[in-house]
Amino acid sequence: MKKIIVDIDNTLWDFASVFYERITKVNPDFVPPRGWHTFDFWKAYLTPKEFYGIIRDIHMDQEKFPPYPQADHFLFMLKESGFYVIVASHREKGTFDATERWLKHNNLIFDELHISHDKTVLFDDCSAIVDDSPVTLKKAVKAGIIGVGLKMPWNEKEDCILFDDLTQLFQYLKKELL
Ligand SMILES: [Mg+2]
């Protein structure tokens, strides 16, 4: 059974909008998501403590936010096609329960939930990863697996395989892996 890693933030739900809303409460000068052209743009506006604190708070509040409309169907189609799905998110360990409840509450089906600061440990055993981080996607390609993601302001100028929606992304995975 082929294994696929599926990221959560900005892959299964719109993390960026909530993040922007909360950051502007700390620093009103923060640019909106369409201006986030690199993965570490935030360093000009926030301290690491502020940045990681906001992210952790959002992850603890995960159940307040809806997934993307296509997210449940996307995971369903992966399962229907015979893939083993590892939902993997770069989060603090303490957010595991809130994350799991959110997935179950929203019918986001999966085989395994991986919460850690390094999802590349899963690469050896997997055929592909779906993620918006250009850093992670490039590591995937280097490890010899497929790396694909939704097109975002912070990855669109990078040399990555990107799609406008999860349906197109699923079709690509199906073509490449089945
Ligand atoms: Mg992400």
CA distances from 17 to 10, 21, 51, 55, 90 (A): 9, 6, 15, 12, 18
Å from CA of 72 to ligand 1 middle: 16
Q: What is the mean pLDDT of residues 21-30?
A: 92
Identify whether residues 55 and 116 lie together within a single domain.
Answer: no
Q: What is the mean pLDDT of residues 27-48?
A: 90
Residue-wise pLDDT tens digits, 75-134: 999 999 999 999 999 999 999 999 999 999 999 999 999 999 999 999 999 999 999 999
pTM of the model: 0.97
Identify whether residues 87 and 48 lie together within a single domain.
Answer: no
pLDDT for 39 equals 80
Identify whether residues 76 and 159 lie together within a single domain.
Answer: yes
Residue 57 sits in which domain range?
15-63
Identify whether residues 46 and 7 lie together within a single domain.
Answer: no
Å from CA of 88 to ligand 1 middle: 9
Å from CA of 29 to ligand 1 middle: 23
Q: Supply the CATH number for residue 129's domain.
A: 3.40.50.1000
> Does the pLDDT at position 41 exceed 90?
no
Residue 46 near residue 23 (C-beta atoms within 8 A): yes
Q: Produce one character per residue of 100-115: b if its CB has 16 or more CB atoms within 10 Å, e if not.
A: eebbeebebebeebbb
Count of domains in the chain? 2
Å from CA of 10 to ligand 1 middle: 5
pLDDT for 98 equals 98
Identify whether residues 46 and 85 lie together within a single domain.
Answer: no
